[in-house]
């Protein structure tokens, strides 16, 4: 029989190879060498020009509780051939690293670090998988939702995706990310309980099927609820659903708030216009039309173009699963390591694709904002200890096509990476979800429209300081030379 271990920690929520590498570092006397890892992605998702960072709160909770419990150790002892002294090392492990991160709701861009983990090599290695797992997903969903937010414009946007999400965690944390990215509410009641997200909903076809009649179903609902949105498409939207919704609203009068009707099938443009006409003619100009049915960004944009009379958008599958691109390719790379000489050495990952070569060194990202326009001019990546905020002017150039450049004057440089943990101690006070949501909206409004448009946006500049660029070029040459020398 398979032995059952208590599921009492998230510490083993990592890839086996991380613990195997910890063992190598530990046995070879490298576990406590100082290391710096940075997480970033190489392409903004969905072909849009930015990402909305989300997931930090869960990362904080994960790091705070990072211990190998007795059950974790028992599992490793019984399934791996780890020696007892390594298991004792794990048992005594407490995370001693420093984590710097973009805050939730911050705009992030391709090829810039959004999280930096510095500390004992073995500690930094262990946390890679969970950090990427959390942040890749939540950032993806927050970003997808902001795309929906852009196309629905000022209309209410409701997250309806729990039934279609990749299981419970994804539904719950995806809903939170969706709220950060621009959803106004969710149908997930637990997300309301845990995160305080506004919960709302209508009713399903089952209610109408249970009564086998639109009128009876709407009447029953109206007798048991003050706020009513009737789902009108079970049998025939225009012939039965809407007339019966109106009939019940007329009969119930002030006893209910007739908020509107939901359409879940058919030609949304044509039907919504007809429904609007019927509601207006019946004296319900304030009753709203809710739409749902596999809506995605393109469909909504198209429905808007067709003049669809939809007031509230309920979106599930295409949002919560990030259907169009189900993964954000965030990676976690070693950028600097303490060598046996006690000195830090910057490290690189070379590839044949110039855009994909990692940038060595411990870095800071600065958001450069024009003081005159109040808009972001680009991001400027420096070594950790450079201070562009104290410079009069900044020469910014494309990190690959260096002839694309500009000099920025009268600017503010704001550091994007903030200290979250310092040597294992939490130093960051988590903001409320409402604060995060507003921060995301404010951040977006500081971005020029050219960078935000949904189709073929202008690439937002993410540039390297001269020092960082020179260091990268030097390391590329040295590394290539070393490989050449060794293969002579």
Ligand X SMILES: O=P(O)(O)OC[C@H]1O[C@H](OP(=O)(O)OP(=O)(O)O)[C@H](O)[C@@H]1O
Ligand Y SMILES: Nc1ncnc2c1ncn2[C@@H]1O[C@H](COP(=O)(O)OP(=O)(O)OP(=O)(O)O)[C@@H](O)[C@H]1O
Residues that bind ligand X (CB under 6 A): 160-161, 163-164, 204, 264, 292-295, 314-318
Judging by DSSP bridges, how do beta strands 462-464 and 376-383 pair with one another? parallel
Largest CA distance in the chain: 91
- Residue 164: name its binding partner from ligand NIO, ligand X, ligand Y, none (Cβ under 5 to 8 Å by kind): ligand X
Applying CB under 6 A, among 14, 116, 143, 202 the residue interacting with ligand NIO is: 202
**Residues 46, 145: Cα–Cα separation, whole Å:** 11
d(C-alpha 29, C-alpha 40), whole Å: 29
Nearest residue to ligand X, by Cβ distance, number only? 316
List the one residue from 65, 79, 88, 265 that touches ligand Y (CB under 6 A): 265
Q: What does DSSP assign to residue 163?
A: G
Residue 18 interacting with ligand NIO (CB under 6 A):
no
The answer to the question of residue 273 lying near ligand Y (CB under 6 A) is: no
- From residue 287 to residue 326, the character string flagging contacts with ligand NIO as x (rule: CB under 6 A) and all else as - is -----x---------------------x-x----------
- Measured distance CA(92)–CA(86) in Å, rounded: 10
Is residue 96 a contact partner of residue 119, using CB atoms and an 8 Å limit? yes
CA-wise closest residue to 185 among 222, 225, 229: 229
Nearer to ligand NIO, 135 or 291 (CB): 291
Q: Which stretch binds ligand Y (CB under 6 A): 164-172, 222-230, 259-267, 276-284?
A: 259-267
What is the distance between the alpha carbons of residues 9 and 11, in angstroms, rounded to a whole number? 6
- Please say whether the beta carbons of 317 and 164 come within 8 A: yes
Residue 315's binding partner, choosing from ligand NIO, ligand X, ligand Y, none, with beta-carbon cut-off 5 to 8 A by kind?
ligand X
Site string for ligand Y, 82-121 (x = CB under 6 A): ----------------------------------------
Question: Of ligand Y, ligand X, ligand NIO, none, which one does residue 219 interact with (CB within 5 to 8 Å by kind)?
Answer: none
Binding of residue 266 to ligand Y (CB under 6 A): yes
Looking at 10, 240, 302, 412, which residue binds ligand Y (CB under 6 A)? 302
DSSP annotation of 241 reads I
Task: Tell me if 306 contacts ligand Y by CB under 6 A.
Answer: yes
Q: Are 145 and 319 in contact (CB under 8 A)?
A: yes
Minimum CB distance to ligand X, residue 54 (Å)? 21
E strand or H helix that includes residue 422: strand 418-422
**What is the DSSP-derived secondary structure letter of residue 293?**
S
Integer Cα distance of 319 and 174 in angstroms:
9
Does the protein bind ligand Y through residue 274 (CB under 6 A)?
no
Give which of ligand X, ligand Y, ligand NIO, none residue 391 binds (C-beta under 5 to 8 Å, depending on kind). Answer: none
CA dihedral 132, 133, 138, 140 (to 10 degrees): 70
Distance CA 233, CA 281 (A): 19
Packing angle of the helix pair 16-27, 84-91 (nearest 10 deg): 110
Least separation in angstroms between CB 213 and ligand X: 19
Instruction: Tell me which residue has its CB nearest to ligand NIO.
Output: 201
Q: Is 273 in contact with 307 (CB distance < 8 Å)?
A: yes
CB 50 within 8 A of CB 149: no
Residue pair 23/118 in contact by the 8 Å Cβ criterion = no
Binding mask 155-194 for ligand NIO (x = CB under 6 A): -----x--------------------------x-------
One residue of 269, 275, 357, 444 binding ligand Y per CB under 6 A: 269
CB nearest ligand Y: which residue? 265
Of the candidate spans 194-202, 287-295, 364-372, 456-464, the one that interacts with ligand Y by CB under 6 A turns out to be 287-295
Q: Give the total of residues touching ligand Y (CB under 6 A).
A: 13
Contacting positions for ligand NIO (CB under 6 A): 160, 187, 201-202, 262, 292, 314, 316
Contacting positions for ligand Y (CB under 6 A): 264-269, 293-295, 299, 302-303, 306
């Amino acid at each position: 029989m398979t032995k059952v271990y208590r599921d009492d920690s998230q510490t083993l929520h990592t890839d086996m190879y991380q613990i195997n590498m910890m063992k190598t570092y530990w046995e070879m006397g490298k576990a406590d060498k100082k290391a710096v890892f940075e997480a970033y992605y190489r392409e903004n998702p969905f072909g849009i020009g930015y990402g909305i960072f989300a997931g930090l709160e869960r990362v904080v909770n994960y790091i705070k509780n990072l211990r190998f419990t007795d059950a974790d150790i028992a599992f490793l002892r019984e399934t791996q051939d780890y020696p007892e002294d390594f298991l004792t090392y794990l048992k005594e492990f407490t995370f001693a690293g420093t984590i710097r991160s973009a805050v939730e709701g911050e705009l992030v861009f391709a090829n810039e670090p959004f999280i930096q983990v510095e500390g004992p090599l073995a500690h930094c290695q262990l946390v890679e998988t969970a950090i990427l797992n959390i942040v890749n997903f939540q950032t993806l969903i927050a970003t997808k939702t902001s795309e929906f937010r852009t196309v629905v414009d000022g209309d209410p946007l409701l997250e309806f995706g729990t039934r279609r999400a990749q299981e419970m965690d994804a539904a719950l944390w995806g809903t939170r990310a969706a709220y950060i990215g621009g959803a106004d509410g969710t149908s997930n009641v637990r997300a309301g309980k845990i995160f305080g997200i506004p919960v709302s909903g209508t009713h399903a076809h089952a209610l109408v099927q249970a009564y086998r009649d639109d009128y009876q179903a709407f009447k029953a609902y109206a007798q048991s609820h003050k706020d009513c949105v009737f789902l009108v498409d079970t049998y025939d939207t225009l012939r039965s659903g809407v007339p019966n919704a109106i009939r019940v609203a007329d009969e119930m009068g002030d006893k209910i708030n007739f908020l509107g009707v939901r359409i879940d099938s058919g030609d949304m443009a044509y039907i919504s216009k007809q429904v609007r006409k019927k509601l207006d003619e019946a004296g319900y100009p304030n009753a709203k039309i809710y739409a749902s049915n596999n809506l995605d960004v393109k469909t909504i944009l198209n429905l808007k173009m067709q003049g669809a009379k939809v007031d509230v958008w309920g979106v599930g599958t295409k949002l919560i699963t990030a259907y169009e691109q189900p993964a954000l390719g965030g990676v976690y790379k070693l950028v600097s390591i303490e060598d046996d000489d006690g000195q830090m050495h910057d490290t690189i990952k070379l590839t044949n694709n110039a855009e994909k070569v990692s940038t060595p060194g411990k870095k800071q990202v600065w958001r450069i904002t024009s003081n005159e326009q109040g808009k972001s001019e680009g991001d400027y990546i420096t070594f950790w200890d450079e201070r562009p905020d104290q410079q009069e002017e900044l020469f910014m150039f494309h990190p690959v096509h260096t002839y694309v450049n500009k000099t920025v004057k009268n600017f503010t440089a704001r550091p994007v990476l903030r200290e979250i943990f310092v040597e294992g101690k939490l130093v960051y006070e988590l903001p409320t979800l409402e604060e995060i949501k507003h921060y995301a909206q404010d951040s977006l409004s500081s971005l020029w429209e050219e960078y935000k448009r949904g189709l073929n946006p202008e690439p937002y500049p993410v540039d390297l300081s001269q020092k960082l660029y020179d260091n990268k070029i030097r390391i590329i040459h040295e590394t290539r030379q070393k490989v050449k020398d060794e293969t002579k």
